[in-house]
Amino acid sequence: MASLARLRASLPRTRKTPLVRALQTAADTTQLKEEASHSEPFMVTLHEESFHGFKTDPPTRDLEVTKDGLLKMYKLMSTMRRMEQAADALYKQKLIRGFCHLAIGQEAVSVGMTHVLTPQDNIISAYRTHPFAVLRGGSVFALISELLGRKTGISKGKGGSMHVFTESFQGGHGIVGAQVPLGAGLAFAAKYLEKPIATYTMYGDGASNQGQVFEAFNMAKLWNLPCVFVCENNKYGMGTSAERSSSNTQYYTRGDQIPGIQANGMDVLAVVKAVEHTKQWVLDGKGPIILEFVTYRYGGHSMSDPGTSYRTREEIQRVRSTNDPIRGLQSYLADWGLATEEGLKKLDKDAKAEVDAAVEEAKKAPFPPDSDLWASVYAEGHEPPFLRGREREEGHRF
């Protein structure tokens, strides 16, 4: 017995690490809680690992939905993908120049968020934002026109892919992470003016290590601002996986004193629930909260990046074939008896027709006149008599 005790004492001691269950990121794990209705709201229950919480309880898993709401989200997700695929084709035809970042694979985030938020709420983001501009008051035609540099574009042909705005979407910003303190400022304004609105300040996993992000966190918590900091974690920055760039890839835990929620960004219903929860949080005066959506982009960081030098084609195809957000919602509609295969195909066909028509119309739209180079330099009515260009002959008289 003594020798056995000595043997036990000589063995290295191992620390027992508690097992942390991984977040569920499948697109089709939500279940009916009651019979689906064609005319009345009904309840569904999300997967038990759809959410994780940091310094706060995660959202409840029950969600009220309607047939019309689900069909609307399906049509919008299909339209957003068709639009981004059209942008991909136009870029390869050299009709779109410069930077172009597509959100193919991330449709559940944009559609789920805008399904909940009102036009009065604020959304500000970085440069992978074409769907947000359309869903927040824009149109497919105006977005494609902007990408083509036409006067009918959402930013009058001056902004291009990275600088798109509407009255209810605050951009569209090209500097990595720089929109985060701007979002905190929007939340500050809402609180100062005592407006009951929520501000959703979005950034990606690639921007999460920016110093200004943490500075904005600190000010938002210090002043108890009604700001939801949304990390759209699509696993990869510009050619770099999250694991290679971040010492802590649980982005919802990185706010220090700010609570956080991690949510399945591939299931549009989990997105809807997470946004409902966080909006109520800030409107209740609880201060800022971090919301991390775990999602996936199918393409590269931008059109200049094939996206296969730092991940395998097999990985991309596996997500496409088993975890696609549009197919996930499609399976809900079919399995719950809310739509037929023919009905869903018609919605897809309508989405394609809308995008194709917008592309053809945008191609025919005029380019901005040369005089637009001088527009918006000064506020209307406050222009100087003369503005000098680079050369004397390039000067302009207002």
Can you give the pLDDT at residue 209?
A: 96
Q: Report the alpha-carbon distance of residue 207 to residue 212 in Å, rounded.
A: 10
Beta pairing class for 31-32 and 289-294: unpaired
- The pLDDT assigned to 396 comes to 78
pLDDT of residue 19: 44
For range 8-20, the mean pLDDT: 46
Q: Can you say whether the dihedral through the CA atoms of 147, 151, 155, 159 is positive or negative? A: positive
CATH topology of domain 35-365: Rossmann fold (3.40.50)
In the prediction, which pLDDT does 285 show?
Answer: 98
Beta partners for residue 232, in sequence order: 204, 293
Quote the pLDDT of residue 9: 55
Going from N- to C-terminal start, the domains of the chain cover 35-365
Distance of CA 382 to the CA centre of its chain: 37
SS3 375: coil
For a pLDDT cut of 90, what percent of the chain falls above it? 85
Say if CB 128 and CB 103 are below 8 A apart.
yes
pLDDT at 16 over 90: no
Cα–Cα distance, 182 to 187 (Å, whole number): 9
3-state secondary structure of 169: strand
The predicted model gives 19-40 an average pLDDT of: 89
The predicted structure's pLDDT at residue 383? 86
* More confident: 370 or 282: 282
Q: How far is CA 287 from CA 38, 57, 65, 121, 177, in A?
A: 38, 15, 28, 16, 21
100-140 residue pLDDT tens? 999 999 999 999 999 999 999 999 999 999 999 999 999 99
User: pLDDT value at position 381?
Assistant: 86
| pLDDT, position 15 | 39
Distances (CA, A) of 154 to 40, 78, 86, 141: 37, 21, 17, 9
Strand-pairing partners, residue 52, are: 262
Q: What is the pLDDT of residue 10?
A: 55
Between 4 and 283, whose confidence is greater?
A: 283
Residues 6+ apart with CB under 8 A from 29: 46, 47, 50, 267
Q: Is the pLDDT of residue 87 over 80?
A: yes
Mean pLDDT over 168-197 rounds to 97
Give the model's confidence band at 394: pLDDT under 50 very low, under 70 low, under 90 confident, else very high. Answer: confident
Kindly report the average pLDDT of the chain as a whole number: 93
Please choose, from the candidates 41, 55, 168, the residue with its C-alpha nearest in 3D space to the C-alpha of residue 113: 168
pTM score > 0.85 for this model?
yes
Q: In what order do the strands lie in the sheet with 31-32?
A: 31-32, 42-45, 62-65
Given this model, what pLDDT does residue 395 score? 77
Higher pLDDT among residues 394 and 291, named by residue: 291
In the structure encoding, which two tokens stand for residue 388, read together? 């000098």
Residue 20 has pLDDT above 60, yes or no: no
Q: Residues 235, 236, 237, CA angle at the centre, nearest 5°?
A: 140
Per the CB < 8 A criterion, the answer to whether 164 and 146 are in contact is yes
What element of type H or E holds 159?
none
Q: What is the mean pLDDT of residues 360-384?
A: 90
Average pLDDT of the segment spanning 66-94:
98
Whole-number Å distance between alpha carbons of 111 and 260: 21
Give the per-residue pLDDT at 389.
78
Instruction: Answer yes or no: is pLDDT of 1 > 80.
Output: no
Q: Which tokens is 307 given?
A: 């996206």
| pLDDT tens column, 350-362 | 999 999 999 999 9
Q: Label residue 5 by pLDDT band (50, 70, 90).
A: low
